[in-house]
Structure 1
Amino acid sequence: MIKKIAVLTSGGDSPGMNAAIRSIVRIAYHKKIKVVGILNGYLGLCQNNMIKLNLSTVSNILNRGGTILGTARYLKFYKKKNREIAIENMKKKGINALIVIGGNGTYIGAYKLYKMNFPCIGIPGTIDNDIYGTDYTIGYSTALETVVQAIDKIRDTSCSHQRISIIEIMGRNCGDLTLFSAIAGGCEFIVIPEIPYNEKKLIDNIKKNIHLGNKNAIIAITEKICNVKELAKKIEIHIKKETRATILGHIQRGGSPVSFDRILAFKMSLFAIKLLLKKKFGKCIGIKNNKIIYYDLNYFSQSKHTKLKKKLIKLASNLY
């Protein structure tokens, strides 16, 4: 019987993690379940760094970005001896199950704990929106709004100075944040990791765009595809037009979560606790076609389907 659960946030922080923590605590309270917060992710779990969570603890965190529990990337958790320590720490506290909020790395840790017979549930919290099995992750919508606002502001300067602007956007190996912010922001060129990068083709198409009479252009590109500062120099040399690169960086992670992320956090948290009470362990929560679903944690290694992205980028960008 589930009488006490723990919750942790791990990996990169995302707006809405606090909303999920709050929802878990409030829903658990009504189910007469006690909640323990793990500080600093899996590192805190191994260090026995835990605090009690109650209605008072989470009363004013709904609108706050980041995570009150802290987060860390702890690669040593992949070692079995460290996971054994983590499980022992939870058992000593009388914890019956663990809810993790994070991305793929967080899910891997939860799955490994589950394989060692400790009940775990995963809730997707990442701005990258790169989790298999869900249309949206908590934090993605907020980050999307942040990026679109940045694109709008950069466009003002790009138009005024008649320059080419490159905007580097987060996402790791997933182009969702770049693609949809570029569509919403009206970017002329889009470069995402799902489609092979061709620098020459990009420069040639920018040149065509300028020859057609366009005096400025904005290129949205996902991080780690290339060095955007160097790309700006090459474009300026080939096109003879001032080119600037802007790396948005961690500004995309912060800020108060938008309403969609707050509501999504509540829905997913409610479903997570329902699964625990039904003893459906080793699962993670998702949303598909506006319906909350669950699937096995071991699907974390699957890639999100890219066929739709390719169609959208052809319609929205001059690059393809």
Structure 2
Amino acid sequence: MRATIKDIAKVLNLSPSTVSRALRDCSSVSKKTREKILHIAQSMDYQPNLTARGLVSGRTQNIGVILSIETRDYSSLQIFNSIVVNGIFEVADAANYNLTFAKESKKHQTGALQRIIDNRDADGVLIVNVVSEDILAKLTIKNIPVVLIDNHFDNLQSYAVNNNDRLGAYLGTKHLLSLGYESIGFIGISEHAFNRECEMGYFQALLESEIRTDPNFLAKGNGDLGSGYDAMIKLLKINRPPRGVFVVNDEMAIGSIKAIKDYGLSVPEDIAIVGMDGMPFMEYFDPPLTTVKIEVAELGRTALQMLLGLIEDNYSGNHQIAISPRLIIRKSCGYYINSTLTK
């Protein structure tokens, strides 16, 4: 016979309501007690009755996950989405929630999100990379909790979990400065809100080192390999190109390195490169890419934990959470070359 919440409560001498809250990961139950209850539940092979829970609570036990549409194979956005979904899965599985996926873009509405709204097919919604005032307004009217992931939106009342992009750009630029490079370029992404944050981090690092910002050292692409290549070519055509360049994503950083090589120069001997993403396999690139790693899976985990708190009406944290990235030093930045190199 399958174990019930009452059986677990009896073993631990706790009330069934306490066990129920712990199994739903409610913060009102202490972490130590939750861990004890989860351990006993697993040992007793407890399986929640999701249908019964839904009938009692009026919930679907579904979470809608809206991902941005990306048509390019193996793009950094596709990789980002797959990793963030892994983080979401971890929390959803532990909380016994199902996930319903849909794809949207700002320019092309597929209707998937509208169906979730109209049919109330989800208790809450996570929106990754794509959002608009219209989408948020529709969710708000229907009183559906929503958390944004990697969405840099000016509405500070929205719940959101983002990478700390300003810190990431600061760390990457500061690292190049620490190696003695004094002329630092910046390759950003055109018409992307997060680019403002990256520029602020870049400018802050230069200001702290009392280095004047050169507008000629700023270039932009659209996030892909080709645009990273073109942006670097623009910098290379300057009379005295920068000796180090911070690039806001790894995909464009790879394109930048190819441009430098095609120009007959070497990385990092002639120009040092630091990217930001922490995409898989960058350690196998030639040269291995120094990058500021975004904790992508943690974005997904934190966002769903926040959303579940909103669904349970017990979330009391900040509306906006910024996850700190970390610097991974490899060869493209020049850290491992002869320290006597004139920079």
Q: TM-score, normalised by structure 2?
A: 0.43
Q: Work out which structure has the larger RCO, using CA pairs closer than 8 Å and 6 or more positions apart in sequence.
A: 1
Larger Rg: 2
